[in-house]
Amino acid sequence: MKWLIILAIAAGAAWQYWQSHRPIQVEQPPEVSVPAVPETRPPLQKELSAGPEFRMNGYTLTGLAEFSIGARVILAEGYTSGRESDLSPLDLALAWGPMADPGVLAAISFSQSGRFYHWRYEGSPPIPHRAIELNSANMHMIPASRDVDRRLKAVRAGDVVRIRGYLVQAEAPDGWRWKSSLTREDIGSGACELIFVQALEVL
């Protein structure tokens, strides 16, 4: 029994190591043309009628829009299970505009799990409820390279980041599909952005 426990621990450690060091096999699409967004400003988005199609880790990705955001990181959560982690090993909950104010963030409680993020406040909200929804979101990060992957995993809550890349739809040969939201005005299931991250800067 003792050896079985040791073997299980070793296997778990090996899996975690492989997940964090596995190669990223990707056909690189063109660099996006949208400019970098100034610190904690609303995102810029340029929707594409026929965006680039490229392959990554056995999936086909299609660019739906060019995307650029400057935001404060509320939370960061890594994932190693589920087929979504084949593409996106990290989610960032991001805030911009009035939500990026540290005083506002301090008045709200946040949590992040299961590819969602949740928030609540006691009493009156520090800014209108709808402003919280419109100026924050949970976003799924797909690193375009091992360097971007390393940079993403170094991001911490409170950091101000600039991110540029594509909002994408991912498809697998068996019909599985994962599609980015294209608006900041939705909430709930399907409201998260799925970003193929070409550039990341921590300010």
Q: How do residues 75-113 score in pLDDT, each as one tens digit?
A: 999 999 899 999 999 999 999 999 999 999 999 999 998
Cβ contact 98:72 at 8 Å: no
d(CA 52, CA 63): 5
Query: What pLDDT is stored for residue 26 in this prediction?
Result: 78
Query: What pLDDT is stored for residue 7 in this prediction?
Result: 56
Query: What pLDDT is stored for residue 115 in this prediction?
Result: 93
Cβ contact 118:136 at 8 Å: no
Please count the CA atoms within 13 angstroms of the CA of 32 that sit on its side-chain side.
30
Query: What pLDDT is stored for residue 39 in this prediction?
Result: 86
Cβ contact 194:171 at 8 Å: no
Low-confidence ranges of the chain (pLDDT < 70): 1-24
Count of helices and strands (H, E) across the chain: 4, 10
